[in-house]
Amino acid sequence: MPRWWHDGTAWLDQLPELITETCRRLRLTVDGPARHGSNALVLPVRRDGLPYVLRLNPPDDHDLPAQVAALEFWAGRGTVLLHEADPAVGAMLLERLDGDRSLSSLPLAEAVPIIARVMRRLAVDPPEGVPTTDSWLRSGAERFGREWEELDRPFPARLLDGVLEATGRLITEPGEDRAVNGDLHHDQVLAGEREPWLVVDPVLIRGDIEYDLARILWSRLDEMADQDVHDHLRTVVEVAGLRAERARCWVIFRAADYLFWGLRHGLTEDPPRCRRLLDLLLT
């Protein structure tokens, strides 16, 4: 990530000392090798003989308070349990899951129904004061045509018409008002003991459960034949109890939104996947 190329290196240099001090203060013993994603270090630890993981983010990570709030809100209902948090140093003490077993390790025929059940399990009454799926819809309706022109018309006008029609339907037709994980995909659902599968790194928003269905598809789209895409979409709709046409419209909206974002930020793999979803759902 670009954040580590310059100023972020200071935090990386401090990590050994930070780990030592945090483990001392929380009475933790390191229990295995570290793992990392793009923005955090995760270290297996024990306290009083019990297994946990210590997650360390840079303390200036603006997403950290929202991550803590999301985990506190769901409180282990379909998500990893948060035991302690110290945002001042970017530390979270979490339930230990099986880092070697995510839904990405399962065949799609097994993984898709599981992630659909996870979607429904997270869909409880939402809190106040979090972003809404409706705000993204209205933002997209306002900017999609302009972005299409600015990005040199990356797909045919007929697809843009379909995207705008789907967006309009989502805005004008009644939606839901449930708690939603705005960053749900196979890599972030890990095997656990308390529950078979639990979400890590949830992003708490409110509105339509279908919001991130497109990401569930595009994150493993290369494994799917064209008919598989339709079949897996139908499976999620049936298992999660969604409305089929609204789910389809959300996939179209999110695929277009991420395609534009990806092109602006120089991504090379995900925009073609999003384009493929548009082709499949707007033919």
Q: Which two tokens stand for residue 184?
A: 């749900």
| Cα three-residue angle 236-238-242, rounded to 5 degrees | 80
CA distances from 166 to 59, 76, 203, 275 (A): 40, 34, 24, 15
Query: DSSP string of 245-276?
Result: HHHHHHHHHHHHHHHHHHHHTT-SSHHHHHHH
Q: What is the rounded (10 degree) CA torsion for 265, 188, 35, 222?
A: -60
Q: Which amino acid is at 63?
A: D
Query: DSSP string of 133-188?
Result: HHHHHHHHHHHHHHHHHHTT--S-HHHHHHHHHHHHHHHHS----EEEETT--GGG
CA distances from 228 to 14, 115, 234 (A): 47, 16, 10
Active-site positions read 183
Q: Which two tokens stand for residue 26?
A: 């929380």
Answer whether 164's CB lies under 8 Å from 282's CB: no
- The residues near 252 (Cβ < 8 Å, ≥ 6 apart) are 162, 163, 166, 167, 214, 277, 278, 281, 282
What CA–CA distance (Å, rounded) separates 112 from 117? 9
Answer whether 259's CB lies under 8 Å from 154's CB: yes
Answer whether 61's CB lies under 8 Å from 103's CB: no
